[in-house]
A and B are shown apart, each in its own frame.
Chain A
Amino acid sequence: MNILEHIRESLQFLVPEALLLGSLLLVLFLDMFQATRKNTYFAATAFISFAAGGLYLLNQLFDRGSIPNVEFMDHMLLQNPTILFSKILLIISGILALVFIQLSPSSLWLRERGETYILLLAILMGCFFLVAALNLFVVFLSLELISVPSYILVASRFDKKSTEAGIKYLLYGAFATGVMLFGISLIYGLTAGMDLFSPRWIMVFASVPVFSKWIVLGLVLAALFFKTSLFPFHPWTPDTYEGSGWGVLNILSTIPKIAAFIFLMRLSAIFEGMQSYSLLLATIIGFSLLVGNFSALMQSNARRLMAYSSIAQGGFIGMALLGGGDLSQQALFFYLIVYLFSVPAALFVLDYFENISKGDAVNNFNGLGKKEPVMSLIFVIVMATLIGLPPTAGFFAKIFVFTSVWQHYETIHSPILLGVIGVAVAGTVASVFYYMKVPYSLFFKEFENTVILTSKHKSSLVFVSLSILPVVALFFTPDWLMDLLKVIVVYI
């Protein structure tokens, strides 16, 4: 009876999740009848739940003083302003994904189906639980709630390529989940609990022998590395990206990644000062930067290029996990915000170019800069953001990340951290080459493609411009966001 009472009280903290669930069911219902099986209905339903959830979260965030840290559902989930803010970021990302699907020229099959929306809502719900998780059990469940819809989304085009991509993704995801489960079982054996964030668990875990410690940690983190496509759990990325549509690709490379990184950040906060954790992470991130940046140099296919780019970007975001202090957490949020706006823009422009030139090889885009000057120009800005060049906020995102790692290096003087910085610098230089590959072929190669199709020009331009606008604006007022984040990260 007591438990039921507690659960009923806890439900008040799950309003956004309930909204998502409600709209998921509504879409399912709408999808059942021929008359209501319409793209606009689905999109509107999802959008309304996003908007309502977002407004509710904003409202909660505004009177954050009343809810500093609330644990609910029997210490399974946590509610605090940082988590509210993270959920808002996820909502923004979800809205961008939704609009992306609506406008993307290659996602017609995607937006006509009710399943797409159901899966998107489910992924988002899983992400909501992941960022709020206090218990490894919830982490596992929410990761599965993210992964399973992702597998289906990747495979949902039902052609050879997408099926292959989906199967690979599923197998690899199952593998990663298995590794994680193995790690969780070991942790349970070592510490007799999965309540990661409780003081008791931390105390017990501190007494675990060092060698067991990071093996166990490494195994548990495997699924998160898989979600964020960090080395050595990255090989699925290029294949899966290559086989999936741009709309799906956009969902995969933003929403789960953001959630996983935010959860990793919360983990880093409790493991702050624990060398085995931070060096493990540093090694993984160093290798991710190396693999992502240098493999991307060789790519001639736009999708694979973006896949390696997302591995590299994961490395850069991960650098902010190493520091552990307030500055690193701010840097992480800053980078995530830049990332969540710039990646959809980049993918959308590529989608657009692919559609008018009928092919996703970079060579296909040769000379398109003269045909589509505005779009190409915006693409240059987007690429500058991803490289980290001024005048975009990507510049500050990189600076903050580098600064946080350098500060951490100055306190512990580990050569591994120095190595990470070195690889990151080299990777940044390398990223100029592969990110500018497409603009180069747009502007400096002669036009050779004969197949040119026109598409919805204006709405595409508006979407890309609007999504890149915050990034450019943040370049001029980075301190505004940093001040906001300073308030947010206090509650971690």
Chain B
Amino acid sequence: MSGLIPHIEVPLIPADSISMLALTIFFMPIITFILLFFTGKHILASIRSWLATGVMGVMFVLSVYLHISIKGEHLSRWIWFEIGTIKFTTSMLLNNYSTTMMVIATFVSFMVHLYSVQYMKERRNHSKYFPYLALFVSSMLGIILSDNLLITFIFWELVGLASFLLIGFWYEKDTSAAAAKKAFLYNKFADLAFVIAIMILYAMYGTTEISILKELVNLSVTYQAVLAVPIFAGLAIWFATVGKSAQFPLYVWLPDAMAGPTPVSALLHAATMVAAGVFLLLKTSFLLIDWVPNLITIFGCVTALLAALQAIRTFDSKKVLAFSTVSQLGYMMMAVGVGADDAAFFHLATHAFFKACLFLSVGAVIHAMHHMQSHQFDHGQYKELDALDMRLMGGFRKKMPITFAAYSVSYAALIGLPFFSGFLSKDAILGALYDRAVVSGSWSWLIVAVAFTTVGLTAFYMTRQMILIFFGEFRLLKTDASYKKYFDHIVESEWLINIPLILLGAMSFWFFFSLNPLHAQTGWWMKDAFVSGTHHEFHIFIPIVASLFTLGAIAIAVQKYKTIDAFVDTRLTLTRVFANNYFIEKGITFLFVQPVFMISNMCMATDDFINRAIHAKAYFFIVVAQLADVFDRWVIDGLVHFVAGFIRYIGSFFRSYLKGNIQGYFYFTLIAFALMLLWLGWYL
């Protein structure tokens, strides 16, 4: 089998100036992390925040410069370490995908940093917040830049670590700690698959360099070699992304991850954590052959639908957005599954901006709610208040117009209204799904149907959220009128919060991605990363049908929630199915956790049995030892004493001559010598 695959040398390529620039960008947050982590509390909070934010801004500018100046691919590779003759290389690949992703990541991070300067002000544990963010961003950049699976895996784990630290940032809250633990464990479980993938690929091809692997796999495909290895490796890598990019059935950690600070959620959902999975899958898409893409499509489709359905029934304002992210990731996965890598990446890019904006604007509203709560606390009345519950909100449109504007623009982008970025990317994905269904038929049409349905569902739950938060009256007053005076005092947030909102909101318009508002063919700044729709046939009916679905859903939602009184509407309570995440966690517990406990109980019982046996053996030996002791003392010791006495006797025999005089010595010597010679003569 391996005879069919020619060995490819791994050449070392020195880094050129562009690559050095990318490395510089990569190392900047690491330096920030080290600096802030260890000097932390000794620096003023404002200096801390602005230092981290400034570095991020510089990184964004440099990334933009990098993106502009890059032409084609820049691969650099160098020796990482050597074990005997085995050389482990590490490499960095710069192309349009990676630089685009860098621009997105650094921009969103920059916005989140700006937002956090205000949002996290005077929050507890502030000194650790910015270093963690820097770690998060640098790990993400590592995944983006690395062209080696092993290195990618290291940063992959670091992303996991940083997300754990940030989700559990307010770890004194039980929900935060539990959510962080859950996210960490679900991700670790999926990461095992990554390890398996690396082991499979290294065992088969002897390298973890992605670009070399790509050539080797393509050769395998060309030579019709046995494809089980790339198939299983691809499957394993996909499963790793199921964890990180929150796909069915492992997506349940993502809604819980909302327990972290809101800017972290924005970062997590837009540029770093979940994007890492999709980005890795796009990087290694050459491994997805045979039946694996179909599997990815089906799982993506299921994820998109289930998450959208759940979003409809959720009252937690952030969780709605979380489920929406899961649903959109499902879209991306579907696109990967049908081979529309560029569409998937395009959606990843557009989604990053409007989802970050949505999170930050909802965060601004939550910020206001928290303010009311703390005001009341200042006046000696502390009341339990779920500041995230949409049922208690309403009427923020007039109070916070800028936030509302930013929210509406991103809202429009998410549900895919024309003239907004989401319209372009969703159209590309739907077109790709349609094209695929035309070719392969049968169940693929079901996928297309579900995708369109989900478009409608998305419009529905987003409209619902918009109405609940921004329209109508402030419903908290219906339960507690004492909030009235605080509500009256609510004003627009500070500019540090508004500027990121405005900038991110602006990115939701079409012109930023494509000059043609209805099709992405005229994309400009992403260059080749979105390949101007070369194989995307333009179907005029797709945007029309999608828009009809959207409009219909909006109409229904408006009808339904126009005069809503949240607390009397029984249909708005969570059903058991939704509240339990479709029993996915219960299923995981039943399928994996309980068997493990069962096995461990069995092991314990076996162990117990062995212990008893050992105890019995020990008692037996104690009895034997007692007997042996007696034997030892009388027989063996006796023997030893006897031998020692005998030797002492011999010694004194030889010694006794020396006490005598010199004549005795002579006799001794002569007699002994003569006897010896005689004995020898007799012997010979």
Would A279 and B651 be within 8 Å (CB), given that A231-B672, A235-B658, A235-B669 are in contact?
no
Which residues of chain B come closer than 8 Å to A236, judged between CB atoms? 665
Total count of chain A residues near the partner, CB < 8 A: 33
A298 and B648 in contact (CB under 8 A), knowing A215-B677, A280-B680? yes
CB contact under 8 A between A298 and B652, given known A168-B662, A232-B673, A235-B668: yes
Chain B residues lying within 8 Å of A279, measured Cβ to Cβ, are 680, 683-684
Q: Is the CB of B668 within 8 A of A297?
A: no
Nearest chain A CB to B39 CB, angstrom units: 47
What separation, in Å, do the CA atoms of A71 and B231 have in the docked complex?
85
Asked if B680 and A214 sit within 8 Å, CB to CB, the answer is yes
| Bound Cα distance A416, B648 (Å) | 24
User: How far is A171 from B651 in the complex, measured between Cα atoms in Å?
Assistant: 25
User: B110: shortest Cβ distance to chain A, in Å?
Assistant: 61
Give a binary string over B654-684; 1 marks a CB under 8 Å from any A CB, 0 the rest: 1101100010011011001100110111011
Contact A283 B680 (CB under 8 A): yes
Measured CB to CB, the closest approach of chain A to B645, in angstroms, equals: 12
Interface flag for B650 (CB, 8 Å): yes
**B204 proximal to A (CB < 8 A):** no
Sampled A-B contacts (24; CB under 8 Å): A168-B665, A171-B662, A175-B669, A214-B677, A214-B681, A218-B676, A232-B672, A232-B673, A235-B668, A235-B669, A276-B684, A280-B677, A283-B680, A287-B676, A291-B654, A294-B654, A295-B651, A297-B647, A297-B651, A298-B648, A298-B652, A298-B655, A416-B683, A430-B647
Check B662 against A172 for contact (C-beta < 8 Å): yes
CA distance in complex: A215, B672 (Å): 13
A235 to B652, CA, bound (A): 13
A297 in contact with B665 given A231-B672, A235-B657, A239-B658 (CB within 8 Å): no
**C-alpha gap A416/B680 in the complex (Å):** 10
Q: Using an 8 Å CB-CB cutoff, how does the interface string of B430-463 with A read, 1 for contact, 0 for none?
A: 0000000000000000000000000000000000
Residue on A nearest B675 in the bound complex, by CB? A232
Do A295 and B654 form a contact, CB below 8 Å, given A218-B677, A283-B676? yes
User: Within the complex, what minimum Cβ distance (angstroms) separates B669 from chain A?
Assistant: 5
* Nearest CB in chain B to that of A426: its residue: B647
A365 on the B face (CB < 8 A): no
Interfacial chain A residues near B652, Cβ < 8 Å: 298
Docked pose: A284 CA to B680 CA in angstroms:
11
> Which residues of chain A from 218 to 256 have a CB within 8 Å of any chain B CB?
218, 222, 231-233, 235-236, 238-239
Does the CB pair A295–B655 fall under 8 Å?
yes
Are the CB atoms of B672 and A294 closer together than 8 Å? no
Given contacts A235-B658, A294-B654, contact A175 B666 (CB under 8 A): yes
Q: Are A233 and B676 in contact (CB under 8 A)?
A: no
- A298–B651 CB distance below 8 A: yes
* Docked complex Cα distance between A373 and B665 (Å): 41
Interface residue ranges of A277-295 to B (CB < 8 Å): 279-280, 283-284, 287, 290-291, 294-295
Q: Can you name the residue of chain B whose Cβ is closest to the Cβ of A414? A: B683
In addition to A283-B680, A298-B652, A430-B647, 4 A-B residue pairs with Cβ atoms within 8 Å of each other are A171-B662, A211-B681, A233-B673, A238-B658
Q: Is A232 a contact partner of B684 (Cβ separation < 8 A)?
A: no
Minimal beta-carbon separation of A20 from chain B (angstroms): 32
Which residues on the A side are within 8 Å of B648 (C-beta)?
Answer: 297-298
- Closest Cβ of chain A to B627, distance in Å, is 29
Expressed in whole angstroms, the Cα–Cα distance for A127 and B666 within the complex equals: 26
Cβ–Cβ contact B680 & A172, under 8 A: no
Task: Give residues 363-405 of B contacting A (CB, 8 Å).
Answer: none
Cα A236 to Cα B665 in complex, Å, equals 8
| Interface residue A275 (Cβ < 8 Å from any Cβ of B) | yes
- B651 near A232 with CB under 8 A, answer no
Instruction: Decide if A14 is an interface residue (CB 8 Å cutoff).
Output: no
Once the chains are docked, how many angstroms separate the CA of A231 from the CA of B662? 16
Question: Which one of B648, B657, B665, B681 has the highest number of Cβ atoms from chain A below 10 Å of its Cβ?
Answer: B665
* A120 to B: closest C-beta gap in Å: 26
Q: Chain B 613-657 against A: per-residue CB contact (8 Å), 1 yes, 0 no?
A: 000000000000000000000000000000000011011101101
Q: From residue A292, how far is it (CB to closest CB) to chain B in Å?
A: 9
- CB-CB under 8 A from A295, the residues of chain B are 651, 654-655
Q: How far is the CA of A238 from the CA of B650 in the complex (A)?
A: 17
Asked whether any CB of chain B lies closer than 8 Å to the CB of A208, the reply is no
Report the minimal beta-carbon distance from A482 to chain B, rounded to whole angstroms.
Answer: 30
Inter-chain contact B651/A294, CB cutoff 8 Å: yes
Q: What distance in Å separates the Cβ of B682 from its nearest Cβ neighbour in chain A?
A: 10
Which of A211, A222, A235 lies at the interface centre, i.e. has the most chain B CB atoms within 10 A of its CB?
Answer: A235
Smallest CB separation, B562 vs chain A (Å): 91
Tell me whether A32 is interfacial, beta carbon within 8 Å.
Answer: no
The answer to whether A235 and B680 have CB atoms under 8 Å apart is no
A residues 167-189 in Cβ contact with B at 8 Å: 167-168, 171-172, 175
- How close is B650's CB to chain A, nearest CB, in angstroms? 6
- Whether, in the assembled complex, A210 has its beta carbon less than 8 Å from a beta carbon of chain B, the answer is yes
Q: How far is A276 from B658 in the complex, measured between Cα atoms in Å?
A: 30
Q: State in angstroms the CA–CA spacing of A236 and B668 once bound together.
A: 11
Cβ of B662: which chain A residues have Cβ within 8 Å of it?
A: 167-168, 171-172
Give the CA-CA distance A276 to B684 in the complex, in Å. Answer: 8
Q: A214 vs B672: C-alpha distance in the bound complex, in angstroms?
A: 15
Among B654, B666, B677, B681, which residue has the most Cβ atoms of chain A within 10 A? B654
How many angstroms between the C-alpha atoms of A284 and B677 in the bound complex?
Answer: 10
Contact between A232 and B680, CB atoms less than 8 A apart: no
Expressed in whole angstroms, the Cα–Cα distance for A276 and B652 within the complex equals 31
In chain B, what residue has the closest Cβ to A416? B683
1/0 per residue, CB under 8 A from B, across A18-37: the answer is: 00000000000000000000
A398 to B480, CA, bound (A): 96
A396 and B676 CA atoms in complex are apart in Å by 32
Please indicate the chain B residues that have their CB under 8 angstroms from the CB of A280 in the complex: 677, 680
Given contacts A175-B666, A210-B684, A275-B684, contact A218 B655 (CB under 8 A): no
Residues of B within 8 A of A175 (CB): 666, 669
How many angstroms from the CA of A361 to the CA of B398 in the assembled complex?
107
Q: B664: nearest residue on chain A (CB-CB)?
A: A235
Chain B residues with Cβ under 8 A from A211's Cβ? 681
| A164 closest partner in B (C-beta) | B662
Shortest CB distance B150–A (Å)? 39
Q: Which residues of B contact A218 (CB under 8 A)?
A: 673, 676-677
Contacts of A430 in B (CB 8 A): 647
Q: A172 — nearest CB in chain B belongs to which residue?
A: B665
How far does the alpha carbon of A280 sit from the alpha carbon of B674 in the complex, in Å?
12
Q: How far is the CA of A297 from the CA of B662 in the complex (A)?
A: 23
Q: Which residues of B contact A210 (CB under 8 A)?
A: 684
Contacts of B676 in A (CB 8 A): 218, 232, 283-284, 287
A233 to B676, CA, bound (A): 13
Would you give the shortest CB distance from A182 to chain B, in whole angstroms? Answer: 12
A430 to B651 alpha-carbon distance, docked (Å): 12
What residue in chain A is nearest B660 (Cβ atoms)?
Answer: A235
Query: Which of chain A's residues 67-114 have a Cβ closer than 8 Å to chain B?
Result: none
Residue of B nearest to A236 (CB): B665
Given the complex of chains A and B, what is the CA–CA distance between A98 and B683 in angstroms? 47
**A residues less than 8 Å from B666 (CB atoms):** 172, 175
Chain A: CB-nearest residue to B655: A295
Instruction: A291 to B669: give the CA distance in the assembly, Å.
Output: 13
In the assembled complex, which residues on chain B have CB atoms less than 8 Å from the CB atom of A290? Answer: 650
B668's nearest neighbour on chain A, judged by CB, is: A235
* A351 CB to nearest chain B CB (Å): 23
- Across the interface, name the chain B residue whose C-beta is closest to A234: B669
How close is A16's CB to chain B, nearest CB, in angstroms? 35
Complex contacts, B668 vs chain A, CB 8 Å: 232, 235
Q: Which residues on the A side are within 8 Å of B647 (C-beta)? A: 294, 297, 430
Shortest beta-carbon distance from B553 to chain A in Å: 83
Nearest first, the 9 A-B pairs at minimum CB distance are: A232-B672, A235-B665, A298-B651, A294-B651, A232-B669, A295-B651, A291-B654, A295-B654, A171-B662
Q: Which residues of A contact B650 (CB under 8 A)?
A: 290, 294
CA A231 – CA B676 in complex, angstroms? 10
In the bound assembly, the distance between CA atoms of A168 and B673 in angstroms comes to 19
Query: Digit string of B338-376 for contact with A (CB within 8 Å is 1, else 0)?
Result: 000000000000000000000000000000000000000
